[in-house]
A and B are shown apart, each in its own frame.
Chain A
């Protein structure tokens, strides 16, 4: 019989990289995702540095409109790098047009959530991934 150790998931919190230039969003994730271990970056360049420093990131929550390096540029770099391309990326953006969603998903995002988002919606996506 094949056994799955679900306990391990509960003991070891998943490590999530939050990439957003909004301090409000970082604070919100601190409160909402307190059961996870969070790493914070405020633009794409900072996020790439965080990826280099933390080899065990399980998930990336990514904004699109950011200074220095946008979310899509960052996503393209992540998906082009063999070391990181398997990490699921959830885009969380105010860009809500259908073409924005398609562009994000085609760039390799696992899910696309529009701001403002419902807490439950985000938690369900994270659980699914």
Chain B
């Protein structure tokens, strides 16, 4: 049963219950006016009790439908985000997907994807948006060398940090993992003005990014490098054959 069908059925149930209430009110009024016998009066009382019970059922169903719709929305976002992250082996497209998740699903106006450089504690800024309006000075020159306590802590222990706090303006620092290694962090610096806070469903998305974004990006980079090497080797083989 689809959401709209369930919603339609609930509306129908509402209408039916309202009609039943009207009928009972009419019956009660007649009982008062005409003085019905004891058996009819007892039946009306029984009907009233049953109607109250159905009313409570209806309220519970409505609450559960709203919860189900909410849950469905969360699951759909997670499904779509995961699908898109792993839908390509092109590193540029994977980065674009991470940006789209940050912007379109999380509502991030300003963010940076930091990837650890090999043999260094510094991070390369692999992807960013809105950093031209950042006044912290920590994300200049395409690299991050540390300085924000939430970002540094997330890079250090791999635990998602939510802010801002008195020492950091970062809204979320999402550690990115490939297997057990922390390879970077997604830093959300500002949300759109019409998106006031990150909600519980956004936390799910942040967890998903922590688990999938880096592995999708690294898989794409490895594939891209391997593919490039393969093409070079093929060209060499052709060259050798032709000479």
A-to-B contact residues, CB < 8 Å? 22-25, 27-28, 31-32, 35, 94, 96-97, 114-116, 118-120, 123, 127
Contacts and interface: CB of A to CB of B under 8 A. Distances in A.
Q: Taking chain B's interface residues, is the majority helix, strand, or loop, or is none over half, making it mixed?
A: helix
Contacts of B93: 23
A24 B80 CA distance: 7
Interface of B: 2-4, 69, 72-73, 76-77, 79-81, 83-84, 87, 93, 96-97, 100-101, 103-107, 109, 192-195
Q: Taking chain A's interface residues, is the majority helix, strand, or loop, or is none over half, making it mixed?
A: helix
A115 B81 CA distance: 15
15 contacts: A22-B103, A23-B93, A23-B97, A23-B100, A94-B103, A96-B192, A96-B194, A96-B195, A97-B193, A114-B194, A116-B104, A116-B195, A119-B69, A119-B73, A119-B76
Given A23-B87, A28-B77, A96-B195, 9 more contacts: A22-B104, A23-B84, A24-B101, A25-B100, A28-B104, A94-B107, A114-B194, A116-B105, A116-B106
B107 A115 contact: yes
B123 to A, nearest CB: 25
A27 B4 contact: no
Given A35-B2, A123-B4, A24 B81 contact: yes
Contacts of A123: 3-4
Contacts of A31: 76, 79-80
A96 B81 CA distance: 23
- Best-surrounded residue of A28, A31, A32, A96 (most CB of chain B within 10 A): A28
Contact of B104 (A25, A96, A119, A127): A25
